[in-house]
Amino acid sequence: MIIGNGLIARSLQSMDTGDYLFFASGVSNSLETRISEFEREFSLLKNSMEKHPECRLVYFSTLSVNDQSKQHSYYVLHKLKLEEYIRNNTSNHLILRIGNIVGNGGNPNTLFNFLKAQISQGMTFTVHQRARRLLLDIDDVSEFLHAHRDDLNNQTVNFAYPHYFDLKRIVRAIENKMQKKAKYIETDEGDFYKVNFDKTATKFFTGTDADEYLRILAEKYI
């Protein structure tokens, strides 16, 4: 059973065997402040768990819960609340905290989609020099779950390519693929947060260095 119809949900179609409850729905905008939106996701999660108690729950959370600057944001508090609810109400689950997803389609406000649109349209945008981002190919989500969904029971796993990409490096990869120069203004702003990746997550990416991973993302999705 797959709950949701976005990029993550679509990537899991081949895994919809009936033994798992993949919860890939809910608030996608990390700047959301409407309580009703968060309550809608919480209600959907609880109802889904009650209807499918026999299924192993896989819940998609966010790595931004590690960001100390966002500990009081509605979005992070909401995600932590749902994580805690899952831990307290099922003994058969996996919580996957994921980084900045890169794929075809999906939320236009994701980093790759935003940069691609700005460069394509010749728009001027701002690059924060101090900012770093953890990226994740959408295809890696299903591949990781295929390999580990049965041996990570009742765990919370941080999952993204374990390298902190600076924004200019990401922009250059997109420029190279599009063969078009980006127009941007650099500011001495931005930050990033450290994430502890366990061996299961880091081993998954063994054999691909950061430059190659970024090049593959640009080749596939630009």
Ranges of the chain whose pLDDT falls below 70: none
CATH number for the domain harbouring residue 148: 3.40.50.720
Is the distance from CB of 6 to CB of 106 less than 8 angstroms? yes
Q: Running DSSP on this structure, what letter comes out for residue 69?
A: G
Q: What is the pLDDT of residue 106?
A: 75
Closest CA to 133 of 184, 207, 62: 62
Angle at the Cα of 173 (from 213 to 5), degrees rounded to 5? 65
How does strand 132-133 pair with strand 165-166? Answer: antiparallel
Q: What is the pLDDT of residue 18?
A: 80
Q: Would you state the structure tokens that stand for residue 122, as one six-digit string?
A: 């010749």
| Residue the block writes with tokens 């109400």 | 89
Q: Which CA distances in Å does 91 have to 20, 85, 94, 199?
A: 13, 11, 10, 23
Q: Would you state the structure tokens that stand for residue 43, as one six-digit string?
A: 């209600």
Cβ neighbours, 10 Å, residue 33: 10
- Number of domains into which the chain is organized: 1
Q: What is the pLDDT of residue 110?
A: 87
Residue 121 structural domain: 2-221
Is the distance from CB of 134 to CB of 72 less than 8 angstroms? no
Run of H or E including 204: helix 199-204
User: What's the pTM value of the predicted model, to 2 decimals?
Assistant: 0.91
Cα torsion 65, 67, 68, 69: sign: negative
Cα torsion 119, 139, 94, 133: sign: negative
Condensed to tens digits (0 to 9), the pLDDT of residues 15-44 reads 888 889 999 988 877 778 888 888 999 999
Condensed to tens digits (0 to 9), the pLDDT of residues 90-101 reads 999 999 999 999
Q: What is the pLDDT of residue 156?
A: 95
Closest CA to 47 of 1, 97, 10: 1
Q: What is the pLDDT of residue 96?
A: 96
Q: What is the pLDDT of residue 17?
A: 81
